[in-house]
Structure 1
Amino acid sequence: MLRIRKSHDRGSAEHGWLHAKHTFSFSSYYDEEHMGFRKLRVINEDKVEAAQGFPTHGHRNMEIVTYVLEGALEHKDSLGTGSVIRPGEVQIMSAGSGIQHSEFNHSKENLLHLLQIWIEPSVNGIEPRYAQKDFSSSKEKLKLVVSPTGEEDSLSIKQDVKLYRGIFDKNENLKFSILPARHVWLQIAFGKLNVNGEQLEQGDGLAISQESEITLVTKDESCSFLLFDLY
């Protein structure tokens, strides 16, 4: 079973400095039919104006993944972490018992474009943790970047979720097997992707359940996307 979440159907928020699209209910946007998918709670596509950002604020008991599409994100937190995240890098922040952080566009000239993802943890109240890794040198079309065990040099997360980064050139295809009782969410970052005959474009999401395999195909356009393998 495949169900498309079209880009233009997402919630939106305009704050002058922030232009946001919400795949699932978030903040003042509420849609009872789109409260999340399995343990995936938030996918926000944010565009942040130059030198603007989110001042210090707190999170608890959430696994937060940040994936930068364009520009650079400057991060600071109460653990003493100070870093800049750029395209090709993935950030994971386990909020656990509580963490304070800020996020700003590192550039004073260019727009910042990112995906922020929240995943419900398997255990609450753990010690907060931050990690960041550069995957830009990987040539794999489908690269594991987040997993419960940190396998294949991925970042570890406190939930039974595997997150793959997909980068396909034109005219490529790949089959992805789905284990019994597992589900998949696909989120398109750039380009176009055909999945089992369904055509997806930038900003589209796709919920996949009760399928044993999907075929990912690009034709005359390349594609960048995220694939979540969830219980």
Structure 2
Amino acid sequence: MPIVLYRSESRGAADHGWLKSRHTFSFANYYCPSRLNFGALRVLNDDWVQPKMGFGTHPHDNMEIISIVLDGQLEHRDSMGTGSIIKPGEVQVMSAGLGVTHSEFNSSQDEPVSFFQIWLFPNKKNVQPRYDQAYFDPARLENKWEMIISPDGEKQSMWIHQDAWLHLGNFEPGQEIEYQLKDSKNGVFLMVIEGEAVVDDYELAKRDAAGLTEVGEKIAIKIEKSSKLLLLEVPMNV
């Protein structure tokens, strides 16, 4: 089973004062020819934004964009007329499609916001832009995978224009958990948000990640410490 490791300290870094960001894949001023994408997964940015600061209005097209807030609050506004606040436990999905402009701000006066910004290549281009947002009760993540994103919105997940699945889970130490692939030809991207885990005999600490291909039907993950995990199953031929 081929595996590519993305150690936390090896990620691209940006520090703009108001924004600190770590880039798993090439993004903005960070360029690494061996880290352009992992199949349909194009961007995974780990962002911290200071109070009352944020990203001004800017455009996107033909990309599926997912934001997962870890701490604080993220204010979203877009050209579709959406205005919302995304809090911990909530996930945002935006299909940029034909084109959309949006802004993301930390509306807090004194607390930073921490969130993941994830982009996936779509399987349909020039679709009508759309926005969705949902809350996922942390209790649903305890010691099991909770499906957050899917191609068809199954099991109360949100859907995107791609044959990809995003799962979150909070796991207690000492157990071995499995993930059953939807399609054995897909790749699996696993990130340890918090904690420590082992996959294919590789130890992963906080913010470490692994990209696995030729997985077969399932993978097994050993939980070393209490861990919050992010798992993406994505097509590799895009």
Which bin holds the TM-score, normalised by the shorter protein? over 0.9
Give 1:170 deviation, angstroms.
2.7
Greater shift in the superposed pair: 180-189 or 137-146: 137-146
Report whether the alignment pairs 1:43 with 2:47: no
- Residue aligning to 2:126: 125
Partner of 2:57: 56
Alignment of 1:1-231 (within 5 A): 1-140=2-141, 141-178=144-181, 179-212=183-216, 213-219=218-224, 221-231=225-235
Which 5+ residue runs of structure 2 have no aligned equivalent?
none
Cα offsets for 1:31-51 (capped at 9, x unmatched): 000000001000000011111
Matched AA of 2:68: Y
Say which is worse superposed, 87-96 or 169-178, in terms of deviation.
Answer: 169-178
After superposition, the C-alpha distances for 1:29-72 in whole angstroms (9 at most, x for unaligned) are 11000000001000000011111100111111100000011111
CA distance in 2, matches of 1:56, 1:186: 31
The structural deviation recorded for 1:147 is 0.5
Q: Identity, % of aligned pairs?
A: 40
The change in CA–CA distance for 1:180 and 1:45 in structure 2 (over 3 A counts) is same
C-alpha contact (below 8 Å) 1:51/1:108 kept by paired residues: yes
Q: Secondary structure at the match of 2:75?
A: strand
Q: Deviations over 1:86-111 (max 9, x none)?
A: 11111000011111111011211111
Is the deviation greater in 107-116 or in 191-200?
191-200
Distance 1:88 1:193 in 2: 22
**Secondary structure at 2:140's aligned position in 1?**
coil
TM-score, with normalisation over the residues of structure 2?
0.93
One-letter amino acid of the counterpart of residue 148, structure 1:
P
Number of equivalenced pairs = 230
SS across alignment from 2:155: helix
Deviation readout 1:135-194 (Å, 9 max, x if unpaired): 125424210000010111100100010111121123333111234211100122112122
Tell me the TM-score normalized by structure 1.
0.96
Query: Is this contact kept in 2: 1:60–1:99, CA < 8 A?
Result: yes
For the 8 Å contact 1:69–1:189, the answer to whether it is kept is no
CA–CA separation in structure 2 for the residues paired with 1:170 and 1:73: 31
Name the SS for the 1:127 alignment partner: coil
SS at match of 1:192: strand
Distance in 2 of aligned mates of 1:53 and 1:136 = 27
Contact 1:11 1:23 in 2 (8 A): yes
Distance 2:165 2:149 in 1: 6
RMSD, matched Cα: 1.2
